[in-house]
Structure 1
Amino acid sequence: MNLQAMRAIYLFEMARTRRTLLQSIVSPVISTSLYFVVFGAAIGSRIPEVDGISYGAFIVPGLIMLSLLTQSVSNASFGIYFPKFTGTIYELLSAPVSYFEITASYVGAAASKSVVLGLIILATAGLFVPIEVAHPFWMLLFLVLTAVTFSLFGFIIGIWADNFEKLQLVPLLIITPLTFLGGSFYSINILPPIWQTVTLFNPVVYLVSGFRWSFYDVADVRVGISLAMTLLFLALFLAIVAWIFKTGYRLKTY
């Protein structure tokens, strides 16, 4: 395994975050804080508790997951798309670096950024409401697994996209709506039975539910199912990435 090459790619991607600190870290934290203030003030005053938890604290896992999903996809998609845009992707593909090493480097960097951002948002939320983490190990596990899974998804989008507009298409039109409708700001148990069933087809429900369980011991879906679904998404995206490199889709013919 070419660890030196992996380290070089990883550090290059992480350095890009430092160069764009305002956009990569500060902007998502401010946006999430505004969500928290608006939802906590406007809705929290009308809904004092959800499942025995104050509404302000209840939405913290959902807000973290919202930023985690969107930033994981955005970071990974831009990271691999930019070499395609500049033409340096061919130098990378011809270098003595395996497809696994390329994927691990880009996805690892994107996931690292998202995990750091998630922890910063968690610390920021603690300034607004008291937060307790019932299961720290599981919280970190769900955080890392979700970041890696959706960084792989973003990696796929970055290879598929042939312009900058398409990089924003999936996060804006798919990821964000699914997150809002996935129980980030409410418990799906308050929905009518028919809509509870429909909501279970939303994959984000399982991510948010498992992550919230790690905080407060409450969940809309059993934690075992949430973990299994997360691992299933991870395996699916890994299989798609493997197929892309095997066939050269949007790489050899871009």
Structure 2
Amino acid sequence: MNWTAIKSIYVFEMTRFFRTFLQSLISPVLSTSLYFVVFGAAIGSRINEVEGVSYAAFIVPGLIMLSVMTQGISNGSFGIYFPKFIGTIYELLSAPVNFLEIVLGYVGAAATKAMFIGTIILITAFFFVDLQILHPGAMVLFLVLTCVSFSLFGFIIGIWAKNFEQLQLVPLLIVTPLVFLGGSFYSISMLPPVWQAISMFNPVVYLISGFRWAFFGIADVPIGISLLAIAAFTTLCLLVIGWIFRTGWRIRE
């Protein structure tokens, strides 16, 4: 394993992130604050509790998941797309670095950025609501797995995309709607039976449900199934990336 190559890619990506540190910091804090004002104060005043938890606290895991998923995809996709765009990807491919080391460098940096943003949002939430985390170990586990899996997914999108418009297509038109419809701001049990059954086909439901369980001990889906779902998604992304580097699809074109 070429740890020097992994470190070089990782440090380069993190340096680019910290060059825009204030922008990266202020944006999630402002967005989270607005969500709490709109959903927590305005809507929360009409909804006292959801399954024994105040509505303002209930939406915190959903807000963190929304930001972590979008940030993981965004950072993972742009990290590999930019070398493709300017042509430096060929220098990387001709270097004595295998695909696993490339993935570890880019995806590791993207996941770190997403975790950083998720942590900032969690800290911000404590200023708005009285929040307790019943299972901190499970919370960290779900956060790490989500950051890694969606950074891998973003890496795939970055390889697939041929322009900047395609780079934003999947996050805006697919992932964000799935997060909003995946129980971010409500419990699946509040829906009619038909829509509850339909919601089970949304993979994001399992991630948000497991993450919310770590906070409050309540879940729409058994915790074991949530862990299996995110493990299956991570494995699928790794298999796709392995196939991409083996065939050179959208890389050596």
Secondary structure of the residue that 1:186 maps to in structure 2? coil
Please report how far the alpha carbon of residue 26 of structure 1 lies from its aligned counterpart in structure 2 after TM superposition.
2.0
Partner Cα separation in structure 1 for residue 223 and residue 25 of structure 2: 30
Partner Cα separation in structure 2 for residue 249 and residue 35 of structure 1: 40
Please report how far the alpha carbon of residue 30 of structure 1 lies from its aligned counterpart in structure 2 after TM superposition.
1.3
Aligned-residue CA RMSD (Å): 0.7
Match of residue 39 from structure 2: 39
CA contact (8 A) 2:32 2:124 kept: no
AA paired with 1:76?
A: G
AA paired with 1:62?
A: G
Please report how far the alpha carbon of residue 217 of structure 1 lies from its aligned counterpart in structure 2 after TM superposition.
0.1
Partner Cα separation in structure 1 for residue 82 and residue 95 of structure 2: 17
Q: Is 1:193 the equivalent of 2:193? A: yes
Deviation per residue, 1:129-171 (Å, 9 max, x gap): 0111100110000000000000000000000001001111111
1:103-252 to structure 2, matched below 5 A, reads: 103-252=103-252
Secondary structure of the residue that 1:221 maps to in structure 2? coil
Match of residue 63 from structure 1: 63
Partner Cα separation in structure 2 for residue 11 and residue 131 of structure 1: 34
Deviates more, 1:32-41 or 1:206-215: 32-41
In structure 2, the gaps of 5 or more residues are none
AA paired with 2:76?
A: A
CA contact (8 A) 1:36 1:63 kept: no
Deviation per residue, 1:166-222 (Å, 9 max, x gap): 111111111110000000000000100000000000000000000000000000000
Partner Cα separation in structure 1 for residue 33 and residue 245 of structure 2: 39
Secondary structure of the residue that 1:66 maps to in structure 2? helix
Q: Is 1:83 the equivalent of 2:73? A: no
CA contact (8 A) 1:159 1:251 kept: yes
Partner Cα separation in structure 2 for residue 63 and residue 244 of structure 1: 32
AA paired with 2:231?
A: L
CA contact (8 A) 1:142 1:211 kept: yes
Match of residue 7 from structure 2: 7
AA paired with 1:57?
A: A
Please report how far the alpha carbon of residue 31 of structure 1 lies from its aligned counterpart in structure 2 after TM superposition.
1.1
Please report how far the alpha carbon of residue 28 of structure 1 lies from its aligned counterpart in structure 2 after TM superposition.
2.1
CA contact (8 A) 1:32 1:67 kept: no
Deviates more, 1:87-96 or 1:25-34: 25-34
Partner Cα separation in structure 2 for residue 26 and residue 184 of structure 1: 22
Partner Cα separation in structure 2 for residue 5 and residue 87 of structure 1: 18
In structure 1, the gaps of 5 or more residues are none
AA paired with 2:77?
A: S
AA paired with 1:72?
A: G
Please report how far the alpha carbon of residue 42 of structure 1 lies from its aligned counterpart in structure 2 after TM superposition.
1.6
Partner Cα separation in structure 2 for residue 72 and residue 215 of structure 1: 21
Aligned residues: 253
Secondary structure of the residue that 1:148 maps to in structure 2? helix
Please report how far the alpha carbon of residue 29 of structure 1 lies from its aligned counterpart in structure 2 after TM superposition.
2.4
Please report how far the alpha carbon of residue 37 of structure 1 lies from its aligned counterpart in structure 2 after TM superposition.
1.4
CA contact (8 A) 1:111 1:148 kept: yes
AA paired with 1:224?
A: G
Deviation per residue, 1:63-96 (Å, 9 max, x gap): 0000000000000100000000000000000011
Please report how far the alpha carbon of residue 22 of structure 1 lies from its aligned counterpart in structure 2 after TM superposition.
3.4
